[in-house]
Structure 1
């Protein structure tokens, strides 16, 4: 169940899951999969880059499934590919680069 009371992600009534909410889910999935000291990424990771592609709308009241896979790691940075699926169909995808927080 999606909590639609968050004032930033749900600033008005939506008939679909809003993009900024999905991007935050991508960020959390990437950090959970590629951050926190895994591989060459530091324990506390910052998002250094993000590319997204949206192909379809997500519906409220139906299961949304997010997958994340580390696709590269070098020099203290980790790249994570993330996808969002609903009803077995890919709705959106992202490539997220994680690394140390800038000084």
Structure 2
């Protein structure tokens, strides 16, 4: 599953387990546990929500409602080939979304 112009993201809900330090440890996707390889670098970054386009409203004092959190991690499951997962969490959600799966290079 790779991002294409016709389908820019997958947006599949997944469960992500984190280490005490706050980095992804494992991802539950499609009935499998995908372990994050600790020997490989992970990448974290933030983008901004286009709130003026979504017209999302939230109560006053709710906190940060514009930063979208992203993680790129290398994962494997039960002897499968290494894959790259691109994860995303919207600013007002606790649910993680799987945006892309590619073969690790």
Instruction: Give the structure-2-normalised TM-score.
Output: 0.30
Structure with the higher helix share, 1 or 2: 1
Structure with the higher strand share, 1 or 2: 2
